[in-house]
Structure 1
C-alpha cells in the first residue's frame, strides 16, 4: 500500500509541475497579492523571527480511509513565487523543498496554533524540526499556512484503505531567526 501511495504522490507532483490538464499550475501574480493579509493571533510567528519568503501553493490534500473515517495522509503541492514561477514542492512530513536551490525544511505543527477556516483546511503555525542547505529554506524556524482554500476531507463513511485527493490552495510564509 505504501508503494501505491508513493506512486500517487509522485504522479500528482509530476502533474502539478507539468501544468497538465486538471493540474494545479502556478497562480497568476494577481492571485498572490497579500497586501491586505490578516494573520490570526493563534498562528503568529513568535518575536525574534523575520519573514524570509512567501509562496503561494496549489495542490491536493490526500486522505486515506482508516477505521471508517477519512484521515490525512499527505499534501502534494507546488509553491510559486510572486511572478507565478514554480519554486518549491510540498510533501509528506510536512516538508518543503526548493526546486531552485535544493534547500529544505521539515516542520511540525505547534500545539494549539491553528485557526479554523470555514470550508478549508485550517491555517497553521509550524515549527522547523530540521533544515537542509544554504538556500531559501536553510535557516527557516517557522512556517505559516495561511489563506487556505479547500482541502477538507470528504464527509461520511468510506471503504477501508480507500484514498482520495482534495484540491487546496494556501499561502506559505517562512520565517527565520532575526539575527
Structure 2
C-alpha cells in the first residue's frame, strides 16, 4: 500500500516512543474488550474503523437429510452508537463451492465520496479465517476481505468480525421432516470493520529498521513443509501481494532457489508499470510475536533491479503482522503425518519497505 504525504519529517524511532506506542495499543485493546479473543482479532497493523449492529437480521435454514442446513442470511446495518443512522446491509447465500465465504457487506458512502466515485455504496466480501461456535449458538467469526466492489467506505476494509448477540439458531432436528418448509430465524449481531493502517505497527527493537517507511503491502500465500521422519522442515514460502486484503494484486513474494552473491534469496517483486524487484537476506533472528504465526523478520536488501525512486533505493524490508503458517505441534504431528508427508499452510503478512536515511525531510 503506497504511503502518500505532502510533507514527511522522520527520525529513528527511539525506545521510549516505541514503549508509548505499545502502551497505547494495549489501552485500545483493553477498551475494545470482548473482541480481543486472539483467534478472532485481526493482526497488528489493522485498526477498528466502524462498529455496526444488525437490524431485522434473519438466517434461513432448509431441511435436508433430517437436519436443518444453513442456507442464507441477511440484515440491515445501523451505527452501533446511534441506531437511527442506517449504514448498510449484510447478505450471505451458502454455496458448496465457496464454503469459506461468509458474506457481503454493503456500506453507504458519504456525499463527498458519492460525488467522487459515482456510487452510493461500496461492498466488501469476506472469507472466514477464524471461527468459534457450534450448532447451538450463533457463531463468532473473523473474516478477511477477499474482494471489494466500488470505491468508498468498504473499499478500505481489511477484516470483519461477527460478534453474536442473540438468535440465529435453527430448531431441533426432530422438527426436520420430509416436506418441512424453510424456517426463518431472527438473529442479532454486531459487525466490526477493520482497515489496514497506513503506518506499520510498533515492532520489537531488534526488528527496527533505519529510515523512512515508503511502501507497504499485504501478502497471503503458502508455506511448504516436508516431514523428515522426526519433524517438519520448511522448504519454501510463496505469497501474492496486494495493496489491502482482497484488494489489487500488485506483486509476489518468494524464495529464490539460489542465493545472490551477497547471500540474499528472499525476493519481493512488484509488477509493472512501475515495477521493481528486491532480494534480501535476514538481518536479525525472527521474533515470535504471535505464538500461532510465523516470526516477524527484518531483512537487508542485497540486490535489486529498478530500485531507484525520488525517495532513494529500498535498503531494508520488514515482514510483520503475520498470521498462520506454522507447522503442526509435536503433539499434532503424529496424527497429521499419517495422512500428509508434505503440507502447504495458509499464511498472511504485511511487508514494509524502508530507505536508508535515518533522518529525512521530504517536500
Q: Under a length normalisation based on structure 1, what TM-score does the superposition of the two structures give?
A: 0.73
Q: Pick one of 353, 357, 363 that aligns with 1:174.
A: 353
Rounded to whole Å, the distance in 2 between the matches of 1:26 and 1:151 is 22
Cα deviation per residue 1:80-114 (whole Å; 9 max; x = unaligned)? 11482110101113211112334111111123353
Cα deviation per residue 1:115-148 (whole Å; 9 max; x = unaligned)? 4321000111111121112467x92211111111
Match of 1:60 in 2: 222
1:163 aligns with 2:342: yes
1:29 aligns with 2:191: no
Rounded to whole Å, the distance in 1 between the matches of 2:254 and 2:318 is 15
Q: Pick one of 253, 262, 266 that aligns with 1:90.
A: 253
What is the SS of the residue equivalent to 2:346?
Answer: strand
Match of 2:174 in 1: none
Which runs of 5 or more residues in structure 1 are unaligned?
1-19
Match of 1:154 in 2: 328
1:145 aligns with 2:319: yes
The within-5 A match list for 1:72-111 is 72-82=234-244, 84-92=247-255, 93-100=265-272, 101-111=274-284
- Aligned in 2, Cα 1:124/1:53: closer, same or farther, shift over 3 Å? same
Larger radius of gyration: 2
What is the SS of the residue equivalent to 1:111?
Answer: coil
Q: Under a length normalisation based on structure 2, what TM-score does the superposition of the two structures give?
A: 0.38
- Aligned in 2, Cα 1:170/1:85: closer, same or farther, shift over 3 Å? same
- Aligned in 2, Cα 1:111/1:82: closer, same or farther, shift over 3 Å? closer
What is the SS of the residue equivalent to 1:125?
Answer: strand
- How many residues are treated as equivalent by the alignment? 156
Which runs of 5 or more residues in structure 2 are unaligned?
1-96, 101-126, 128-143, 149-154, 159-194, 256-264
Rounded to whole Å, the distance in 2 between the matches of 1:26 and 1:73 is 30
- What is the aligned-residue RMSD (CA, Å)? 3.1
Match of 1:41 in 2: 205
Rounded to whole Å, the distance in 1 between the matches of 2:270 and 2:147 is 15
Match of 2:85 in 1: none
Which structure has the higher relative contact order (CA within 8 Å, separation 6+)?
1
